[in-house]
Structure 1
Amino acid sequence: MREWARGAVDAVYERVLRREIDGAPAHVAVIQDGNRRYARERGQDASRGHQHGAQTTERVLDWCAEMGVEELTLYTFSTENFDRPDDQNEHLFDLLVEKLREFADADRVHEQGVRIRAIGDTDLLPDRVQDAVDYAQRRTAGYDGFTLNIALAYGGRAELLGAARDVAEAVDAGDLDPEDVGVSEIESRLHASPARDVDLIIRTGGAERTSNFLPWHANGSEAAVFFCTPYWPEFSKVDFLRAVRTYESREASWRRTRAKRALALVRSLGTEVKEARRVLDRLKGTLPDPPEDVDGDGRSAD
């Protein structure tokens, strides 16, 4: 009875949230935290938590398609995760191989034109995971309906340091002028980076930090961030819609802020222009006539 009541409340809340949401972020990034704690609290092995989490990932893909999200990046395995016990990582690697190949062969992936990409130092992963990554990327390389990025052996700080070193080496070798170092030069040296900046970061499991995740693409665009307490296997559609609502609220707030700044700038410029005109009017009688070979705007007639 309790579960039925909760389901009814969630259904009503979901409808309310949908009415409050006008659109959706183009790029959502997710830190899938809490799989192991979910399993531990139920007396299960960590591998069971990851399996439950994989089911949530499939549901999130459906919700993204429904909402019109164009790109999803999942923080699946960080460089710090290599420090975990080998048996835990081996179970996770087996699951990654299974799911990557399953996704790459799924009818809905091909029907929806989903492109699967891996970002991170994938060379550090076991051969069987690298093979599964290659298989998924090759099977979906020609699609552009939706982009699914899997962050594997990924660390944002290491990625930025690697890009900085590459730029420094190119400058030292004379292949790149320091004056030409810009956004495009950095982005071209990042791991197969996302196609667009991140609009919304979601983190489950209760922690309120972004843990070295996509610092270039997220912080640079000042992405909205939604932290929630459910573990990743428990993450629901209501939670997802609340995250999207947070993004929309953030965007609306930024639009109001930009409008206020623009209005203040116009008013300030208007005051300065009026003052400048008054000064010019006072000086007009004392200024010499321009030379015949110079236009009225001060440029040479030639």
Structure 2
Amino acid sequence: MKRWLRKRVDAAYERLLSREVSGAPTHVAVIQDGNRRYARKRGGDAHEGHRAGAETTERVLEWCQEIGVEELTLYTFSTENFDRPAEQKEALFDLLCEKLREFADADRVHENEVSIRAIGEIDMLPERVRDAVDYAERRTRGYDQFVLNIALAYGGRSRLLEATRGVAADVEAGDLDPEEIDIEDIERRLYDRPIRDVDLIIRPAGEERTSNFLPWHANGNEAAVFFCTPYWPEFSKADFLRGIRTYEHRAESWRRTRARRALALLGAVSETELAEARAIVDRFRDSLPSAERPDAGDLEGGDSGGQAAD
């Protein structure tokens, strides 16, 4: 009876969250944490936890597509994971091979035109895993409706280091002027194909850190971060929707801050800068509390009247 009631409550909460979600982030990144702890809690081995986590991954992919997310990146195997016992690594490599080929052949992947990509130091992986990666990428290369990035042998700092070395080598060779180095020069060297800025990072299992995950694309974009306690195999749709709601609140806060700063600038900047500040205030005016919203006359006159708050 208690389990039945719990399911009814969970279903009602999920419906409530679904109604509250009004927009979707473009790019969600997930740290799939807690598989081994989940298995230990249930008296199983690490492999059973990873297999249960793979089932959660499939559900999250469906949830992302339902609400309009366009790119999902999964932190699946880090460079630090190479230090795990050999039997754990081999079992995980076998599961990766199985799931990569299964995803590449799945009807839903082709019906939804999902492009599967691997990011990280792929050359460090066993040959069978590299072959499975190549198979999945070739089978879905022509698709662009949804991007699924699998982070394998991945380390955020190592990627940035390699990109920096690439820039330095081009400068030394005379192919790149140091004065002309820009963001695009770094991004082109991070990955073979472009990755969108991250809007939301989700991490289950109670850890409150982002573990060097996509630092260029997440930190630079001031991504929202959602931490929750369920282990990855226990991660539910309600947890997912709570993460989306965190992103929406973060985005709303960002818009409100931009509007307040631009409003404050109206009375302090030169005439040539007023047009941009007015445009920002006008764009994000509805994000401000009613008492802080300027009227049309305030914007035209360039006098904020001291209404802005920090």
User: What residue number does 1:52 align with?
Assistant: 52
Q: Tell me what 2:111 maps to.
A: 111
* Residues 83 and 263 of structure 1: CA distance in aligned 2, closer, same or farther (over 3 Å): same
Q: For 2:98 and 2:194, locate their aligned partners in 1 and report how far apart those are by CA, in whole Å.
A: 24
Displacement of 1:6 in angstroms is 1.3
* Contact 2:24–2:67 (CA under 8 A) maintained in structure 1: yes
Q: SS of 2:230's equivalent?
A: coil
Once the two structures are TM-superposed, the CA of residue 43 in structure 1 deviates from its matched residue by: 0.8
Distance in 1 (alpha carbons) for counterparts of 2:193 and 2:222? 17
Counterpart Cα distance in 1 of 2:107 and 2:3? 33
Q: SS of 1:153's equivalent?
A: strand
Deviation of the 1:93 alpha carbon: 0.2
Match of 1:14 in 2: 14
The whole-number CA distance in structure 1 between the counterparts of 2:156 and 2:98 is 26
Match runs of 1:126-275 below 5 Å: 126-192=126-192, 194-269=194-269
Q: Is the 8 A contact 1:119 1:193 kept in 2?
A: no
- Taking the aligned partners of 1:40 and 1:80, their CA distance within structure 2 comes to 21
The aligned residue for residue 34 of structure 2 is: 34
Separation in structure 1 between the aligned mates of residue 24 and residue 264 of structure 2, nearest angstrom: 30
Structure 1 stretches of 4+ moved >6 Å? 270-273
For the 8 Å contact 1:118–1:192, the answer to whether it is kept is no
After TM superposition, the score normalised by the length of structure 1 is 0.88
* Matched AA of 2:5: A
1:272 deviates by 11
TM-superposed deviation, 1:14: 1.0
Partners in 1 of 2:3 and 2:216 — Cα distance?
42
1:167-200 CA-partner distances (Å, limit 9, x unpaired): 1111111111101111010001113355310000
Structure 2 unaligned runs (5+)?
Answer: 274-310
Which sits farther off after the overlay, 264-273 or 91-100?
264-273
Map 1:65-84; keep pairs closer than 5 Å. 65-84=65-84
Shift of 1:219: 0.2
8 Å contact kept, 2:187–2:194: no
Instruction: Quote the Cα distance in structure 2 between the aligned partners of 1:233 and 1:165.
Output: 38
| One-letter amino acid matched to 1:166 | G
1:7 to partner: Cα distance: 1.1
For 1:23-69, what per-residue CA distance to the aligned partner results, in whole angstroms no more than 9, with x for missing partners?
11000000000000000111101000000000000000110010100
CA contact (8 A) 1:110 1:140 kept: yes
Structure 1 residue 230 displacement after superposition: 0.3
Letter in 2 for 1:81: N
Closer, same or farther: CA 193–160 of 1 in aligned 2, 3 Å: farther
The aligned counterpart of 2:305 is none
Q: Indicate if the aligned counterparts of 2:188 and 2:194 stay in contact, CA closer than 8 A.
A: no
Q: 1:87 to 1:194 in 2, by over 3 A?
A: farther
- 1:268 Cα shift? 1.7
Amino acid at match of 2:75: Y
- Counterpart code for 2:233: P
| Equivalent-residue separation in structure 2 for 1:146 and 1:272 (angstroms) | 41
Structure 1 unmatched runs, 5+: 274-302
- Asked if 1 retains the 8 angstrom alpha-carbon contact of 2:70 and 2:145, the reply is yes
Which letter maps to 2:79?
T
Counterparts in 2 of 1:216 and 1:272: CA distance versus 1, 3 Å: closer
Q: Following TM superposition, by how much is the alpha carbon of 1:15 offset from its aligned partner in structure 2, in angstroms?
A: 1.3
Query: What is the percent sequence identity of the aligned residues?
Result: 72
Supply the AA of the counterpart residue of 1:73.
T
Alpha-carbon distance in 2 for matches of 1:258, 1:246: 18
1:149 shift after superposition: 0.1
Corresponding residue number in structure 2 for 1:122: 122
Larger Rg: 1
SS in 1 for 2:190: coil
Instruction: Check whether the contact 1:30–1:75 (CA below 8 A) recurs between aligned residues.
Output: yes
Q: Distance in 1 between matches of 2:272 and 2:94?
A: 67
TM-fit CA distance, 1:2: 2.1
Deviation of 1:164 (Å): 0.6
